Amino acid sequence: MNTLIPDDDSPSRTPQSPDFVDDPSWREDALCAQVDPELFFPEKGQPSRDAKKICSTCDVREQCLQWAMTANQRHGVWGGLTARERSRLAQSRDAHVTTRNTEREDTIFQLHTASVPPTEIAQRFEITERSVHRIVKKARQRRQRSA
């Protein structure tokens, strides 16, 4: 096993991480366990293609990547991605979540503007009426700022 994969009680693991990340059994199927771990930590400027090639056929690639993202691993190839690639992926996921939230808030604001009762909006989005009012206020402020 890649000796750099931490054991169960590593302090870098977070209680909020997904179940499969908390379940260490995926590490038993790590292909990198069969090769030199240094391959996964190339020097700056050195290619990472050999490590990535191994990752591409690894059965636990997704779990490994999720673990590395959750643990915010800043070095090495994990789940087939370099630290820079994981950073870009994290940024793009954050941007996606922000866009989705903004779209949702805009929809709630438009429903409110169209005089749909807050109780109905709350039911439709499975949130409280208080949240509806908070979101409407936030969307209104955002629109005023961009006007």
Q: Given the complex with ligand SF4, which of 67 and 109 has the nearer CB atom?
A: 67
Q: Are 34 and 59 in contact (CB under 8 A)?
A: no
Does 61 engage in binding with ligand SF4 (CB under 6 A)? yes
Does 81 engage in binding with ligand SF4 (CB under 6 A)? no
Local structure of residue 105 (DSSP, 8 states) = H
Q: Are 78 and 68 in contact (CB under 8 A)?
A: yes
CB of residue 31 to ligand SF4, shortest distance in Å: 4
CB of residue 65 to ligand SF4, shortest distance in Å: 7
Does 86 engage in binding with ligand SF4 (CB under 6 A)? no
Q: How many CB atoms lie within 10 A of CB 100?
A: 10
Cα-Cα end-to-end distance for the chain: 56
Does 66 engage in binding with ligand SF4 (CB under 6 A)? no
- The mark string for 112-131 relative to ligand SF4 (x by CB under 6 A, - otherwise) is --------------------
Structure tokens given for 45: 């400027």
- Tell me the chain's radius of gyration from C-alpha atoms: 22
Chain residues binding ligand SF4 by CB under 6 A are 2, 30-32, 40, 54-55, 58, 60-61, 64, 77-80
